[in-house]
């Protein structure tokens, strides 16, 4: 049998075909697992506890394995989605804006809780502190949550500035606890005179009797603003994005959905879009916090 020599062009075509097939196999393999993370605005054990039933629900709805990927801080949550090391991330409004900017608009929000259309922050203090309004914070110590937190830093800071209070100049000391529950602990233990945090976490602590509102009280509640959402990278296949969004939107009527929503402190999930967070972006730029 006479062997036909392989031409250079044919060789290149075969190599290209092999690379394409290998790439397709890697893509299929990568899509077999949905990697999920969240900003660590609460303790790691609490975040994992809240996500477990949601993860199982998503596995059933999407027909693929769902893998929880914890991160150490807010910046890490941003970077993991921007660099596509995870596929789905739970962001606060500010971390979404950071991820959207860092990715050149490639990080997009899918859904948010109905409560996130008009989210709020609370300022808390010891009931015996004598602090009754924002102006009383002058000369006092205050704890925010994470520096990258929307409800635990950015928006509380913006409302302080609107009240003509510069936290860095007018307060005795500003600190960052790293998480909303840690802010409550800092105020309750007397480490700081006051703290600013997510209203949802505060209400959960009161409901669970982990804090006595007669001892640690809310003295200011902010106006509403857009906050948390579930975001993905725009490079995710559109069909998968749509399936994920549909799964969240169906939770309200799904078997066991009410229990999952309760863990997420949500009545239901609704669609959202990047433009909803323009106000957060503006506040971050005005405060010099968006780089």
Find the Cα–Cα–Cα–Cα dihedral 192, 49, 120, 103, rounded to 10°. Answer: 100
| 40: Cβ contacts below 8 Å, ≥ 6 apart | 47, 70, 71, 72, 73, 74, 77, 146, 178, 179
Calculate Rg over the CA atoms of the chain: 23
φ and ψ of 201, to 5 deg: -65, -40
| 27: Cβ contacts below 8 Å, ≥ 6 apart | none
Give the distance from CA 236 to its chain's centroid.
19
Concatenating the DSSP letter of every residue in 111-162 gives: EEEGGGGGB-EEEEEETTS---SGGGGTTSEEEES-TT-IIIIIHHHHHHHH
For the cut 50, the answer to whether the pLDDT of residue 16 exceeds it is no
pLDDT band of residue 286 (cuts 50, 70, 90) is confident
Q: At what angle do helices 180-188 and 199-207 cross, to 10 degrees?
A: 60
Question: How many C-beta atoms lie closer than 10 Å to residue 226's C-beta?
Answer: 21
Tokens representing 233? 């990278």
For the cut 90, the answer to whether the pLDDT of residue 151 exceeds it is yes
pLDDT band of residue 217 (cuts 50, 70, 90) is very high
Q: Convert the pLDDT of each residue in 224-261 to its tens digit.
A: 999 999 999 999 999 999 999 999 999 999 999 999 99
**Claim: this prediction has a pTM higher than 0.85:** no
């Amino acid at each position: 049998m006479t062997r036909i020599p392989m031409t250079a062009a044919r060789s290149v075509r075969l190599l290209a075909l092999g690379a394409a097939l290998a790439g397709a196999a890697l893509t299929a393999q990568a899509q077999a697992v949905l990697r999920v993370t969240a900003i660590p605005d609460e303790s790691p054990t609490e975040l994992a506890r809240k996500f477990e039933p949601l993860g199982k629900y998503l596995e059933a709805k999407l027909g693929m394995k769902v893998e929880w990927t914890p991160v150490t801080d807010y910046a890490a949550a941003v970077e993991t989605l921007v660099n596509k090391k995870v596929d789905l991330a739970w962001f606060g409004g500010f971390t979404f804006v950071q991820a959207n900017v860092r990715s050149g608009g490639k990080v997009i929000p899918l859904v948010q809780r109905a409560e996130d259309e008009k989210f709020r922050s609370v300022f808390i203090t010891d009931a015996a502190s004598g602090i009754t309004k924002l102006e009383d914070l002058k000369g006092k110590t205050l704890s925010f949550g994470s520096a990258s937190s929307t409800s635990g830093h950015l928006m509380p800071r913006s409302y302080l500035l609107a009240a003509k209070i510069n936290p860095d100049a007018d307060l005795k000391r500003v600190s960052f606890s790293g998480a909303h529950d840690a802010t409550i602990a800092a105020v309750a233990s007397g480490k700081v005179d006051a703290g600013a945090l997510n209203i949802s976490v505060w209400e959960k602590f009161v409901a669970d009797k982990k804090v006595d509102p007669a001892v640690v009280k809310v003295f200011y509640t902010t106006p509403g603003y857009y906050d948390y959402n579930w975001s993905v990278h725009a490079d995710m296949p559109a069909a998968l994005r749509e399936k994920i969004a549909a799964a969240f939107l169906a939770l309200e009527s799904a078997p066991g959905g009410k229990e999952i929503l309760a863990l997420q402190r949500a009545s239901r999930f609704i669609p959202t879009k990047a433009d909803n967070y323009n106000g957060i972006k503006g506040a971050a730029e005005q405060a010099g916090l968006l780089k």
